[in-house]
């Protein structure tokens, strides 16, 4: 018989893409109000989905990612997605999104994104939000899956996530040190 246990706390990772880079600070300030100060922020990455999002948001689009110091409960992901959707809605101009915010979490073994779109490999986690298993960590590197978004398959984003994973493992050690 399996015995339920408490899941590990997770590292909150939020990806943001937008056309106007100057709006990034507005997004970060709103996220700081809700989640605290990011402990890592990536450089700007090129964005691969301009054919899908470009019609609504314009082109070119740019992505930046950040992780947050305070670890979260995995169960919090749907509420965090609802919060980021509200920020997106607040920043709409002329009935068009100006920013897309993708929250997720990182564990030692996987990277999961939140989405409002159902699909065969996505699991409902509450509030109309689904968890998308985006990457697995195996054999010392992140591994893509057949449905992994192309930009998360890119080497530069995976290098960033490996750095965040190292920080996460350090954060976990800090929790253990405090508990003992």
Quick: pLDDT tens for 69-95: 999 999 999 999 999 999 999 999 999
Q: How confident is the model at residue 179 (pLDDT cuts 50, 70, 90)?
A: low
Mean pLDDT of 105-115: 98
What is the band of 46 on the pLDDT scale with cuts at 50, 70, 90?
confident
pLDDT for the residue numbered 172: 95
**Chain segment 48-66, per-residue pLDDT in tens:** 776 788 888 988 999 999 9
Enter the DSSP assignment of 7: P
Q: What is the mean pLDDT of the chain?
A: 94
> How many CB atoms sit inside 10 A of residue 11's CB?
27
Tokens of 123: 């699991």
pTM, two decimals, is 0.94
Average pLDDT of the residues in 8-24: 96
CA distances to 1, 39, 83, 178, 180 from 164, in Å: 35, 9, 22, 21, 25
For residue 7, give the nearest of 102, 83, 103, 109 by alpha carbon: 109
CA distances from 75 to 46, 52, 143, 161 (A): 31, 30, 24, 21
CA distances from 179 to 7, 10, 79, 142 (A): 17, 17, 27, 30
Strands 99-106 and 38-41: unpaired
**Distance in angstroms (rounded) separating the CA atoms of residues 113 and 104:** 4
pLDDT of 136 > 90? The answer is yes
């Amino acid at each position: 018989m399996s015995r339920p246990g408490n899941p590990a706390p997770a590292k909150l990772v939020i990806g943001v893409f937008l056309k106007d880079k100057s709006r990034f600070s507005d997004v970060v300030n709103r996220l700081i109000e809700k989640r605290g100060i990011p402990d890592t922020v990536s450089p700007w990455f090129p964005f691969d989905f301009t054919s899908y999002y470009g019609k609504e948001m314009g082109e070119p689009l740019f992505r930046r990612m950040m992780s947050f110091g305070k670890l979260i409960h995995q169960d919090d992901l749907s509420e965090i997605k609802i919060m980021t959707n509200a920020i997106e809605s607040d920043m709409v101009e002329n009935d068009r999104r100006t920013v897309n915010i993708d929250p997720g979490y990182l564990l030692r073994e996987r990277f999961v994104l939140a989405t409002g779109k159902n699909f065969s490999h996505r699991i409902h986690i509450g509030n109309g939000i689904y968890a998308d298993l985006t990457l697995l960590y195996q054999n010392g590197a992140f591994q893509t899956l057949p449905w992994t978004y192309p930009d998360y398959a890119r080497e530069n984003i995976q290098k960033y996530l490996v750095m965040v994973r190292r920080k996460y493992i350090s954060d976990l050690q800090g929790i253990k040190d405090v508990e003992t």
